């Protein structure tokens, strides 16, 4: 189905897509590079060359296969509801190019785009001096020789760079995070975008893609979805600063965990609260020296300092299934909104059975929850929205031990403007019960009150499954139950 413009597609019918100002502006610039903008009808092939194809609804596997096979090599696919795991199949058949995070009720979705080819630098004029290439090494760790070779590559390519010996930082108050601190220091003091490269790596060409893409942050992922930290780009934006700050604080607080995992967690925090644009670097930006890498831009040595190549701890492995597709994975929230400080604890809104519903219904449920919290937070300090496709996802949410509340909903329900203030009153009444009581027995007497939160005009009904019979559940706090 052809449309004259991106605006026509986003505003079609009575259910326009809700995207934030930053997301809309980025999509306008992105689609401006293509011959046409198409909203896929969910069935037919796309014959147009170099088209930007918006996919609004989920389709069955044969139709997805037909879509991908019909795409021109210079076309891209845009998913306005990229947080929905129902789109994982389509994403798995494409190369990820970029994504944009969520920001409150005005931008409650993650936008994702990719193509049948890895992202490439578009024709244009780019100044080498616009990016500072940085690296650090520890002379005591026998990294100096590797760093010298990297400096030689940077000089050969005429790239501005700072490669520094940080051995003096070891043993200081910043010993837990010398690499992260170095990146933050360079980003802050120079006022320029910085591109970190591991000192063991070699450069075969100018790694221009992050600069050309206009992203806030660029990173490479392994096939299992885990981020690598050998090549990282941070633009001079508030969003990049928030990501760096989160990564630095996590690294200082948890020095025993892999820095790649901590970066991953910082990214989930940043993209659930800001429209941060991430560029997903292709394999050419992080190849091993053992691979056939004649076309590689950044080649890493066989032995690289750090712990990116280590197997992640068991608690991190489940998150990788989501990260392979550039999205959050339950129990992570894809959208986090702040309420009033110093009031009630956070509340998590679970939208369950998302794989059995239309993408539009899931998106509208997300939008309704975000709008309701923005209208009246009901005294809750924070609201998190988690999309769950399976009962295992719900279990992972319920077993978080922080004694906050979980509101269980499904994609057919729409929370109203007074939903969270009503829940706040239920919370106050339930607060008189013994600790752990709600976890064991639920709040059956309040079931009808929670049903009233749903827009009756939609004809939606709360239909609890056999396992999750309650809609408003308090998570346990083991410290209080001992």
9 contacts: CB under 8 Å, gap ≥ 6: 3, 17, 37, 39, 54
Which DSSP symbol is given to 42? S
Q: How many residues appear in the chain?
A: 482
Which DSSP symbol is given to 133? E
Q: Which two tokens stand for residue 308?
A: 């990116």
Tell me the C-alpha distance between 419 and 147, whole Å.
Answer: 57
Residue 278: count of CB within 10 angstroms of its CB: 25
Q: Is the pTM of this model over 0.75?
A: yes
3-state DSSP call for residue 150? helix
Tell me the C-alpha distance between 397 and 269, whole Å.
Answer: 16
pLDDT at 176: 65
pLDDT at 10: 77
pLDDT at 169: 60
DSSP H helices, 13-78, are 21-31, 61-70
Task: Give mean pLDDT in consecutive 10-residue pieces for the chain, a chain of 482 residues.
Answer: 65 77 94 92 90 95 96 96 97 97 97 96 88 90 86 96 82 68 96 95 93 96 88 97 97 89 95 97 80 63 48 63 90 94 84 94 96 94 95 89 87 91 77 41 42 50 48 62 36
Q: Which of 170, 163, 168 is nearest to 145 (CA)?
A: 163
């Amino acid at each position: 189905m052809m449309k004259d413009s991106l605006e026509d597609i986003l505003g079609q019918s009575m259910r326009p897509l809700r995207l934030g100002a930053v997301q809309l502006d980025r999509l306008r610039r992105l689609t401006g590079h293509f011959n046409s903008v198409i909203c896929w009808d969910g069935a037919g092939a796309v014959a147009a060359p170099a088209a930007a194809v918006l996919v609004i609804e989920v389709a069955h596997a044969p139709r997805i296969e037909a879509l991908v096979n019909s795409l021109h090599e210079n076309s891209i696919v845009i998913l306005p509801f990229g947080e929905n795991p129902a789109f994982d199949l389509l994403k798995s058949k494409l190369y990820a190019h970029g994504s944009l995070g969520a920001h409150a009720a005005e931008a409650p979705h993650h936008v994702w785009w990719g193509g049948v080819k890895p992202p490439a630098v578009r024709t244009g004029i780019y100044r080498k001096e616009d990016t500072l290439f940085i690296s650090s090494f520890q002379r005591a760790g026998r990294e100096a020789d590797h760093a010298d070779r990297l400096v030689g590559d940077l000089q050969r390519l005429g790239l501005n760079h700072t490669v520094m010996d940080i051995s003096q930082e070891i043993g200081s108050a910043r010993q837990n995070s010398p690499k992260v601190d170095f990146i933050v220091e360079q980003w802050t003091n120079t006022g320029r975008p910085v591109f970190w490269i591991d000192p063991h790596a070699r450069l075969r060409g100018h790694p221009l893609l992050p600069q050309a893409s206009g992203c806030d942050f660029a990173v490479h992922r392994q096939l299992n979805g885990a981020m690598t930290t050998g090549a990282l780009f941070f633009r001079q934006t508030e969003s990049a600063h928030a990501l760096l700050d989160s990564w630095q604080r996590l690294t200082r607080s948890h020095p025993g965990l892999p820095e790649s995992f901590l970066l991953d967690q910082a990214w989930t925090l940043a993209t659930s609260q800001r429209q941060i644009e991430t560029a997903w670097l292709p394999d050419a930006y992080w190849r091993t020296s053992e691979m056939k890498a004649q076309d590689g831009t950044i080649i890493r040595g066989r032995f690289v300092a750090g712990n990116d190549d280590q197997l992640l701890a068991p608690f991190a492995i489940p998150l990788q299934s989501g990260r392979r597709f550039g999205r959050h994975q339950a129990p992570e929230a894809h959208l986090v909104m702040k309420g009033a400080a110093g009031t009630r604890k956070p509340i998590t809104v679970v939208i369950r059975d998302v794989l059995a519903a239309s993408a539009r219904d899931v998106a509208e449920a997300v939008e309704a929850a975000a709008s309701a919290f923005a209208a009246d937070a009901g005294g809750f300090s924070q609201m998190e929205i988690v999309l769950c496709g399976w009962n295992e996802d719900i279990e992972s949410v319920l077993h978080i031990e922080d004694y906050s509340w979980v509101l269980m909903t499904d994609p057919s329900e729409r929370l109203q403007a007074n939903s969270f203030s009503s829940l706040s009153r239920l919370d106050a009444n339930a607060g008189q019960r013994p600790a752990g009581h709600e976890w064991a027995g639920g709040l059956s007497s309040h079931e009808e009150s929670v049903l009233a939160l749903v827009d009756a005009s939609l004809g939606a009904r709360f239909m609890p499954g056999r396992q999750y019979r309650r809609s408003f559940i308090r998570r346990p706090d083991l410290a209080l139950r001992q």
